[in-house]
Amino acid sequence: MSAEATNPVSAADAAVTDTTVRRRGRARIDLRRLGRAALLGATAGPAPRDRLPDAISHVAEAHRAHHPEADLAVLRRAYVLAESSHRGQFRKSGEPYITHPLAVTLILAELGAETTTLTASLLHDTVEDTEVTLDQVRREFGDEVAYLVDGVTKVEKIDYGAAAEPETFRKMLVATGNDVRVMSIKLADRLHNMRTLGVMRAEKQARIAKVTRDFLIPLAERLGVQALKTELEDLVFAILHPEEYENTRALIAENSHAGDALDAVAEQVGAVLREAGIGAEVLVRPRHFVSVHRVRLKRGELRGCDFGRLLVLVAEDADCYGVLGELHTCFTPVISEFKDFIAAPKFNLYQSLHTAIAAPDGAVAEILIRTHRMHTVAEAGVVALGNPYAGQESSAGPTPLTARPALVPGPVLTPDSGVTPDPQPEDGERVDPTRPGWLSRLLDWQQSAPDPDTFWSSLRAHLAEDDEITVFSADGSAPGTISLPAGASCVDAAYAQHGEAAHGCLGARVNGRLAPLSTVLGDGDTVQLLIAQDTVSGPSPEWLDHARTATARIAITGWLQAHPEAAAAPADAGPRPQVNVPADRRSGAVLHADLDGEPPAAVRPAGCCTPVPPDEITGFRVRGGSVTVHRAGCAAVETMRGVGREPVTVRWGDTAQCRVTLVAESFGRPHLLADLTEAIATAGAAVVAATVEPPSEQRVRHTYTLHLPDAAGLPALMRAMRDVPGVYDVNRARRRGRAEPPRES
């Protein structure tokens, strides 16, 4: 959009983008040439009606490569309107502003977007930055183009102030729920702005890169647009982690001939498949910068095959499994690396077989096996589906946006036959690939988050979810299937299925057996929720410990705030820059974090070192924008620093109470449990939970979760427990800490 500008890119950015471009064969856009062509078109008069202006000819060429029969007349009209309306506007680098919508349109054309999307992308900044009105766009190009342009148009900052950015995202997400092409245009728009971000001040580059990392990259992943996601990741990596980026760039440069190892394996694989009579194309796919960085963190020293993967493209689904059989027969497979995303596609439409084989020198070569159609969808995601509403068009034209149902029963993706309409889908959420489960859930909970800060932080946490599962309702009530993020519990299932009625949930049966609401569900589980019939029952504050989805957390927090007499409600559910975070339900202590104006999703003590007041503490940002707090001496602190995580200033609040887990090591003897619990009670602590492990070599381990009214009494409590006869040590519970590297694609 107009907030960003072009630049003579830095050497680092150029290296990243040029590598990405060579990998995909994408032609780099010469902005100065386009600027001259646009200006010449403006001064020399309009092009003849039977010829496209020179400045848009490259878009037409890319578009015709995917859609040979496309009518380009509407693109010509859109370009003429965009060029005339933006005439006199320039980007910060000096190029005419029209070069930006042209570049965005070319990105989408290369991904295979259909004509309506390209028309809207040419016009996507006209309503926001020029005198062109939305009604004018509607009159000249129709309702669909107007809807797409309006969907990516920012809200007025004069109306929303500091909330303009989150409200713009909310508007785009709601529009995406009706037409996924809105987000496709936004992603291409952000990619071009990220490519050309170098003339911005460093602090503004960092701010835009962080928003891209937290929101746009996860959305590109969920929509399956890997071609945009990987390049955005590299550009963000170069801005936010310049040292790690430079180290990775140098590593790739030092191993410029590493691809020879993969070339040799590719020749062997090709020979095996030819001998088996399987027609296949075997390609070497170099890893992008972030992928190389992740692999280096995972494996340490890299070998030749680690700098890329092999891609095997075939014609039919059955050929994928034929290739897999030949590879596992003729090479030594690495069984732990095998994944079948054809039989069980990812939630973002991705289909492929993943395997790995041991090369003759002992190196491991990763291999992706897919059909040509699967590869197109893997790279372009929903963009490759064309017009998702083509099945609803009639002789009168496309279905008006206002007439579309909230959940459109649209096309079904079949791996090799393209996109075909299904007139009677049984489950719109699962059948319509343009309205996946995660998007439906996101649109549901955003209605319950009217506060911009709550929406912003909840959206960040929601997009940090990595995968999704499907569970089945056992009571016959709608919906029969429930889509949830991986790691969701019965609490999440209750709110996904019953909404606010889940406040009265008493328990659940998972796969026919009674289970606590804290039970984490697995893909394919059957769940029956037990709901109280009265209207008095409400959620326990502890439910927040088990709720993974924003829908459940917002509903629980709202009920607790409305019923302070039933339970101590968490503080403000929408964190602000100077965080007012609710008392953590695991430690009972209030934590604060200073994030220079960025609201976190939550602030929580780390389970590896269980800090409590008055421990000296430090914090780190983790997935979803949350802050995890460690004791200053925790081993995880050095690990986090070692992978480039910047510490966050955190401090304890005014609350003196805390919850802590202690482990007592002792020699087995009669009445030991009674003596320990008596010592705990005498110290004024309450036992929340206790476990005793079976004796081993006459030694017994007791684990107690205790609630202390005053954290200052913890040292005295531990001394009292050590004084119990037979007890030789008492320590805070500790598990091995682990710093998370950036996520793999």
Q: Which residues belong to the active site?
A: 128-129
Which residues are 628's β-sheet partners? 604, 620
Exposed, middle or buried by CB within 10 Å (0-12, 13-18, 19+), for 50?
A: exposed
741: left (phi over 0), alpha (psi -120 to 50) or beta: beta
Exposed, middle or buried by CB within 10 Å (0-12, 13-18, 19+), for 161?
A: exposed
With contact defined as beta carbons under 8 Å apart, do 79 and 86 qualify? no
Helix (H, G, I), strand (E, B) or coil at 618: strand
Give the C-alpha separation, 612 to 615, whole Å: 6
Give the C-alpha separation, 64 to 53, whole Å: 16
Q: Where are the alpha helices (DSSP H) in 685-727?
A: 714-722
Q: CA–CA distance from 658 to each of 409, 578, 606, 732 (Å)?
A: 51, 22, 14, 13
* Closest by CA position to 727, among listed 677, 660, 661, 658: 677
Output the CA angle 16-18-24, nearest 5 degrees.
Answer: 105
Phi, psi angle pair for 646, to nearest 5°: -85, 135
Phi, psi angle pair for 466, to nearest 5°: -90, -35
Strands in 341-446 per DSSP E? 353-358, 364-371, 411-414, 418-421
Q: CA–CA distance from 418 to each of 43, 371, 372, 415 (Å)?
A: 44, 12, 11, 7
Q: CA–CA distance from 438 to each of 186, 220, 417 (Å)?
A: 19, 13, 26
Residue matched to tokens 């014609």? 315
Angle between the N-to-C axes of helices 31-43 and 73-86, in degrees from 0 to 180, rounded to the nearest 10? 90
* Closest by CA position to 483, among listed 458, 465, 501: 465
Q: Which residues contact 502 (CB under 8 A, 6 or more apart)?
A: 491, 494, 495, 529, 531, 539, 552, 555
What are the percentages of helix, strand and coil residues in the chain, rounded to 5?
45, 15, 35
CA torsion angle 599 605 611 612 (round to 10): 70
Residue matched to tokens 């709901």? 531
Strands 647-652 and 364-371: unpaired
**256 is written with which tokens?**
């410029």
426: which DSSP letter? S
Strands 658-667 and 699-708: antiparallel
Length of the chain counted residue by residue: 745
With contact defined as beta carbons under 8 Å apart, do 505 and 529 qualify? yes
Phi, psi angle pair for 468, to nearest 5°: -135, 155
**246 is written with which tokens?**
């430079």
Give the C-alpha separation, 475 to 530, whole Å: 10
* Closest by CA position to 367, among listed 244, 294, 456, 283: 283
Alpha carbon of residue 43 to chain centroid: 46
606: left (phi over 0), alpha (psi -120 to 50) or beta: beta
